[in-house]
Each structure stands twice: as structure tokens, then as C-alpha cells.
Amino acid sequence: MSSGGTPRQKMIGMMYLVLTALLAMNVSKSILDAFVIVNEGLERTNENFDKKNAKLYSDFKGALDKDPNKTKPYYDRAQKAKKLAKELNEYIEKIKKYVIEKTDKKEKAVADTISLKYVDAKDNYDEPTNLLIGSEAATPIDGELTALDLKKRVAKYKEEMIKLFDDKKLFLPTDKKDMEGKLKAGLDLPDGVENGVKAGWEVVNFYHLPLAAVVVNLTALQSQITNAEVDVVSKLLSAVSATDFKFDKLQAKVIAPSSVLIQGDEYKADVLLVASNSTSNPKILLCAVDTTKNDGETDPRLNKNDPGKEIPVSGGVGKYKAGTGSTGEQKWSGVIQVEKPAGGFNYYPFAASYIVTPPALVVSPTKMNVLYIGVPNPVDISVPGYAPELVTPNISGGSISPDPAKKGSYIVTCPAGSKEANISVSVKQGNANKPMQGGYKFRVKPLPDPVAKVGGKESGGVISKSLLLASGGVAAVMKNFDFDLKVTVASYSVALNVGGEFKSASATGYNFSGEVSALLAKVKNNGRVIFEDIKVRMPDGTVRTLPPITLKING
């Protein structure tokens, strides 16, 4: 048990220690019922923790809605903490249900819902020990649903929670140290002594303890996990505003919508001094600079006699524009001059570049380099530097429409008889559409034949009679095909030798009909069953006949 927590938690912890001591003294089994009370108290405590966490996440969501840019990095970390705690608590809950199921000999459905007070084998300590530790305390077993695996997961949980505070730009230096201390106090799983011999935490807490005590230990650990979640999320929420208006360095920044442009477009960028406010209008000069001289005090201009070209500044943000008549990399640089209150200037150099390319088109087939007749073919289309809503594709040899589920994705359909399809694109510039150079040519092919299967056998082979009857029907799948297409079996027939006479039966649909099932029931060992005339409805609307399947019965 953790030393932290509410007064109620501490009281429950003290009760648990007393009960454990009484068990060690071989007190009556009725003492076990007291563990039920402790467990119920811990469960109520966990419910209260959950409510507190729900309130914290609600407050976080409110902060995110109010100021998403500032809050999102912390909110994302809180969501990760929530996921980590949920996964670990669910794993512990799974261990509890597993131990109850195996020890109390309950059906899984019953063990998953039963309360500890209704468990009959609360005093059984052999089975929980075997399940969680194994037969030897000196060498505990490892693997899924063991105490040793649980110990590793708790250690990993603590490590991942601490990592949430690694970013020095988001947190004060004391934040991570504070959380390390809290999580160490609440989640450390110290070794102890078992029968006078040093033993690991897993042995001390789960070896030779009755089922009731094991369940209480697990519930108490869930309380520690959830309490750690409360601490972490609380710290993350408080950190959102902890660094407001605290700056230790000023830097010049260049922010451009895109650094790769289409020839003929206009390049735009914002140049601003980070940490400046809306009333600050520094002087921004375009000139050659040495960006290594960024201490703020040294003038970084390579030519001190060059006054530079001043660009407009509004609200502390410089507005830079340049043409794109030439292709290739275009470099530009300058310095931000900030006047000191006592006179003189601070200097902050910046340098940036952008790429001007000829008009280009990118069309990527989502699945492969061919299109198939009669089915939806997903295709991604983009033009560098343009938002998806400004791109308009055109096609010859088929039709194309936007995929409502994803921007920049389209669905292409090709009619029967098509051999190839060509996709071209135009982009919207102002009120006009500008055609892009190039395009993409697809081969158009009919869908390949599917493969029929019976009992997992697709071309024949040996199968037991029981597996054949249990398979229930004939399936058809698109083998080694990237599209998610459904093929429906329309009909088939079955033939086999019964008492020297060749008999057959047929069915509509994929299931074994009553006639087919009755015939299959008559097949003898080493007999052969032939599934033939297998007709399937393809996604393109056609009906195809697949090769027969011959199966030999063995067993």
C-alpha cells in the first residue's frame, strides 16, 4: 500500500495490515470476510478517483476549447496518461477475474461479474499462488497474468508517466522532479522478506496468501495506479499556465505558408520576434547576416555600411513578399532591430529559403498501379503547395468522384471494355483554374477470379469428415488481392460415390443445404467429395464459374 492518499485510504490501508497480521496468526476464516469490507472500501475509493479524474479531464477540455494552441501539448499528454492508466487497470482487473475464475471454479462469465463477498474459495491460497507465482517462491513464473509480469508493467507505467514531463520547453525544471518524487512514493514496489528470506515484491504480495487477500492487494494496486493518474493530470493541467509570460531568450522567426511554390505564384512569409507583443514594432531589414551572432547585442550584418531594405511591420509582425519568376532555391535573410529603452538596439538575425518548382502533379494509386473494372478504385491526388479543396481531377476512360471520408482521396470507376485511364488535374488560383503539367496513366483490367474454399481447402486435399461437415458451406475469397472486396457464392453442386452409386446434390447460396448435408453425411473414409459448378457473384456484377474442389476423406 502507498503511504499517500486520503484519510479514508489510510484507514482502509491500516485495516488491511491488521487483517494480514491476523491471518498470519491463523485466526478463524471469518476474518476473511473482513477483507471483503476492505476491498469494497478500496473500490469506492477508486470510484472517487475516477470522478476526480473525470473532473480534471473536463477542465482540460475547457482549457483546450479556450486556448487550443497553448493547451494542446498538455492535453495530448493528459490523454496519454489516461490511456496508460486505463490499460494497466484493465490488466489488473483481468488478473482478478482470472484468479477468481480458476480458484473458485466459476464459469468465466460469472467470474467476470461476481463480487468478492460471493466467492466461496476466499481462503484458498494454493491456487492463487500457483497462478501468480508458481510452485517456487525463489523462482517466480513470468508471462501474461503473472505477478512478475504485473510488477514489470507497473514499473513501465511509472516510467512512461515520468516521461510525459521530459519537454523542457513545456515544463518548469521542478515539474519533472516533483512528479518523480510523487510517483516513486506511490508506485515503487519494494522487495521484502518472506519466511525470513529476502523476497521480491511479487512474492511478498501474492505468495501463499488466500484469494481474498490477493484480490484486495490487486484492488489496492489499482487505487495506486489511479491516484498516480490524478497526480499526473493535475500537474499537467497546472502546467498549462505555469510558464505564461516567462521567457529566457528572444529569437527571430520566419513563418511561411509554404516553402515550395508553383512557378508564377507569389511567395509570402511572416517575420516576427517571438515574445514580442502587439504594440511592439521593431525594424526588420533584409540584408546578408551572420546567424551565429545571435546574442542580441552584436550587429550580425556582414556589411555594416549596408542599411538593408526595410519591410513593413504591423503589430510586431513583418510582412515579406517576393516573386517566383525563377525556379530553384531562393534564399533570403535579415535582422530584426529592437530599440532599447535606454537607447541603442538589440539585434536578432534570421535566414530562410524556399523552393520554386515548375507546376507539378502527383497522383498516387492507393492500392496498386492498375484500376479494375466495375469496382471502386481508391486514388490519392495532390499538388504540392495547394490544399485538397483547390485541386480538381479529370479522367478519361472512367469516372472520378471525391471520397467523402478523406480529403485528397478519390474513387475511380471504369466501365467494361476499358483498357486504360488517364488522370489530369487543374488547380484553382483566384477565380481561374490552372491546368497542371503531366498526368498519370493507369492500366485498366478486369477483376481476377476469386478462389473457392471448403474447410480451408482451396484446390483439394485431405480433410476429416467432421471438419468437412463443420465447415458449413463453400466460401470464395479474393486471394492475394489488395482491395477489400466481397465475393458471394451463388450456387454449387456436390458429387460423391455412395455404395457404388455416384450421387449428387446442389445448393443455392454458400451454406450446405439440407440435401447437401444429408449427402455429405454418407461419405465413407477414403471416399472423395467433389464440389463443382461453383458459381460466384463478383463485385463488378458478373457471375463466374470457379474450378471444382476434390477432397479426400480421412478420419
352-397: pLDDT as tens digits: 877 666 565 556 555 567 899 989 989 988 887 777 888 899 999 8
| Each residue's pLDDT tens digit, 202-244 | 998 899 889 988 999 999 999 999 999 999 999 999 988 765 4
**According to the model, what pLDDT value does residue 516 have?**
94
Same fold yes or no, 252-357 and 362-445: yes
| Rounded Cα–Cα distance for residues 276 and 529 (Å) | 83
pLDDT at 2 over 50: no
Answer with the residue of higher pLDDT: 338 or 101.
101
Residues facing residue 313 across a β-bridge:
318
Rounded CA separation 74/76 (Å): 5
Per-domain residue ranges for the chain?
7-239, 252-357, 362-445, 451-553
Give the per-residue pLDDT at 80.
Answer: 97
CB distance 125 to 212 below 8 Å? no
Which DSSP category does 139 fall into?
A: S
Contact in structure between 357 and 327 (CB atoms under 8 Å): yes
| Residue 360 pLDDT | 55
Q: What is the mean pLDDT of residues 173-185?
A: 89
Q: What is the DSSP string of 316-343?
A: TEEEEEE---S-EEEEEEEEEEEE-TTS
Q: Is the pLDDT of residue 315 over 90?
A: no
User: Which distant-in-sequence residues (6+ apart) come within 8 Å of 490 by Cβ?
Assistant: 508, 509, 535, 536, 537, 543
- Per-residue pLDDT at 3 exceeds 70: no
Q: Which CATH architecture has domain 362-445?
A: Sandwich (2.60)
Distance CA 319, CA 299 (A): 22
The CATH classification of domain 252-357, taken from the options 2.60.40.10, 3.90.1300.10, 2.60.120.260, 3.30.590.20: 2.60.40.10
What confidence category does residue 35 fall into, taking pLDDT thresholds of 50, 70 and 90? confident
